[in-house]
Amino acid sequence: EVQLLESGGGLVQPGGSLRLSCAASGFTFGNYAMSWVRQAPGKGLEWVSVISVSGDNTYYADSVRGRFTISRDNSKNTMYLQVNSLRADDTAVYYCAKHRGWDTYDAFDIWGQGTMVTVSS
Amino acid sequence: DIQMTQSPSTLSASVGDRVTITCRASQSFNTWLAWYQQKAGQAPKLLIYKASNLETGVPSRFSGSGSGTEFTLTINSLQPDDFATYYCQQYDSYSTFGQGTKVEIK
C-alpha cells in the first residue's frame, strides 16, 4: 500500500525549531518529487515547499523562505522539513505529499495524514 | 506569483444536483491545474489533474474543464459522500491553492 507518514510535530515556543519527517512506503520514493503543504486551523491549504527527485532543486513559498529547509534521504525513503524561527502564524497541520511523477511541477496524488505544529508561549 | 480565486466560497445543494465550482487565475497558464476534495479531519484527495484528467478511482460524475485563467469542476448528480470542501491548485509556477469551496447540504 502506498503510504506517507509524517512525524515530528508538537508544541514549540515562538522562535523555536522542529524537524518534521515524512516516511514513505509502497512506492519507489526516489522516483518522485515531493512537497510539503500546510493548513492552519479552520483555513485553506498553503503550499510550503517542493524538492526534486535528487534533492538538488528546492523551492519555497515566500512565507517560509529563509526559515524552512526541505531535504530528502532516498536511501531511507524519507523527506524532512526543518522549520526554524517559528511564528504563531506557522501553526498548522503539515502534510507531506507525493507528486504524480518526477516533475516538481505536478499534482499531488498521495498525502500523509499530517502532523500538527503549534507555536505558542 | 499566480493567485487562485475560487467561487463560490460556500455552495448549498441537494443530493442529485449538478454543481459547478469555478477557479480563476491571476494570470494565464496552460492546463496545469488540479482539483482536490477534503473532508473534515482528513487529508485532501486528488480528483482531477491537468485540468480535465480524472484520477484513477474517482467516480465519473466528477469532471474538470478550462484553460487560461478560468477552470471549472463539475459534479453531476451530487451524492451524500460528496459533501466536502474542494480546492483548486495551479502547478504551472510552483504551486498555489484556491481558498476552497465548501459544498454543504441544502
Mean predicted confidence (pLDDT) in A72-96: 98
Contacts 24+ apart (CB under 8 A), B7-14: B7/B101, B8/B101, B9/B99, B9/B100, B9/B101, B9/B102, B10/B101, B10/B102, B10/B104, B11/B101, B11/B102, B11/B103, B11/B104, B12/B104, B12/B105, B12/B106, B13/B78, B13/B103, B13/B104, B13/B105, B13/B106, B14/B78, B14/B105, B14/B106
Cα separation, A71 vs A40, in Å, equals 22
Closest chain A residue to B44, measured at CA:
A111
Could you say which DSSP state residue B76 is in? S
- pLDDT at res. A53: 98
- pLDDT at res. A56: 96
Mean pLDDT of chain A: 98
CA distance A117 to chain B (A): 15
**Looking at the predicted structure, is the pLDDT value of residue A107 above 90?**
yes
Please measure the distance between the N-terminal and C-terminal CA atoms of chain B and give it in whole angstroms.
Answer: 36
- Among the partner-chain residues B1, B32, B44, the one whose CB lies closest to the CB of A45 is B44
Contact A44 B87 (CB under 8 A): yes
- pLDDT at res. B89: 98
Question: Tens of pLDDT along B65-100?
Answer: 999 999 999 999 999 999 999 999 999 999 999 999
- pLDDT at res. B30: 87
Place of cell 516538481: A104
- The amino acid occupying position A65 is R
Question: Tens of pLDDT along B23-56?
Answer: 999 999 989 999 999 999 999 999 999 999 999 9
Q: A32, A12, A17, A16: which is closest to A79 by C-alpha?
A: A32
Mean predicted confidence (pLDDT) in A78-90: 98
**Looking at the predicted structure, is the pLDDT value of residue B17 above 90?**
yes
**Length of chain A in terms of residues written:** 121
Question: Tens of pLDDT along A22-44?
Answer: 999 999 999 999 999 999 999 99
B55 in contact with A, Cβ within 8 Å:
yes
- Among the partner-chain residues B38, B46, B96, the one whose CB lies closest to the CB of A109 is B46
What's the sign of the alpha-carbon dihedral B5, A65, B41, B89?
positive
Residue A113's pLDDT band (boundaries 50, 70, 90)?
very high
Contact B97 A108 (CB under 8 A): no
Closest chain A residue to B9, measured at CA:
A44
CA distance A102 to chain B (A): 14
Question: Tens of pLDDT along A1-23?
Answer: 999 999 999 999 999 999 999 99
Q: Identify the residue among A45, A60, A70, A94 best suited for mutation to test binding to B, counting B beta carbons within 10 A and taking the highest.
A: A45
Q: A87, A111, A91: which is closest to A99 by C-alpha?
A: A111
Percent of chain A topping pLDDT 90: 100
Q: Which residues of A are less than 8 Å from B97 in CB distance?
A: 37, 44-47
